[in-house]
Amino acid sequence: MTHLAIAKRFLEKHPNVIKDVQRFLDGNVLPDLHSDKAVSHYGSRTERYDIIKYNREKVNPDKFLINRDMQDDLNKGVFLHLYVDYQYYNDFVAEYFKNIGSNRQQVAIDMYEVSRRDDAYLGEKYGVAYTDTTYGSELKYINDIWDQEHAERRRQKKYNFDYPYDFKAVDGFIEKMSDIIIPGND
């Protein structure tokens, strides 16, 4: 939902940049529909034992720009998605990853819980929903699978969860990310 909230704020701040809003919104969720995130996020395949290196290399928005028609609003949306993911992992929650170390299970639980918390908040505050995209049913399916996978983890006593940031921080991140100048529109 974060990507859609940022896309909506981008549209409000830059009303003359996007001509086909539907294609732009679709582009903002498209990378997360692919099962192989290294492919859809143009990153390197890096071992997850070094979480800082993994986060730095798993998304590459500059690689996406190579031979891309940046006049196409779908590509503008994909670029914004990749840029946001890169900034999210390498700036916004970087301190969290430094503190958590290599505990992949804990990272998975924390990211799941914060995502679920944020989805409700962002949907209400920014008036966005997965159905704003052409891929609403696919996104619901992916989230249902994610819910099933994490339900068991949440029941395990050895894991607790911690929110890496609060709502004020996510609102600030949305404002910062929606100020971007998308290449080809400067």
Count CA atoms closer than 13 A to 118's CA, side-chain side: 23
Nearest-angstrom CA–CA distance, 112 and 46: 21
Nearest-angstrom CA–CA distance, 50 and 101: 8
Cβ(114)–Cβ(121) below 8 Å: no
Nearest-angstrom CA–CA distance, 184 and 58: 24
Nearest-angstrom CA–CA distance, 138 and 127: 20
pLDDT of residue 35: 81
For the chain, which ranges sit under pLDDT 70?
46-52, 101-102, 151-162, 186
pTM exceeds 0.85, yes or no: yes
The CA-based angle 87-43-60, given to 5 degrees, is: 40
Nearest to 178 by CA among 1, 6, 4, 3: 6
Encode pLDDT of 65-118 as tens digits: 998 999 999 999 999 999 999 999 888 988 887 777 667 777 777 887 888 889
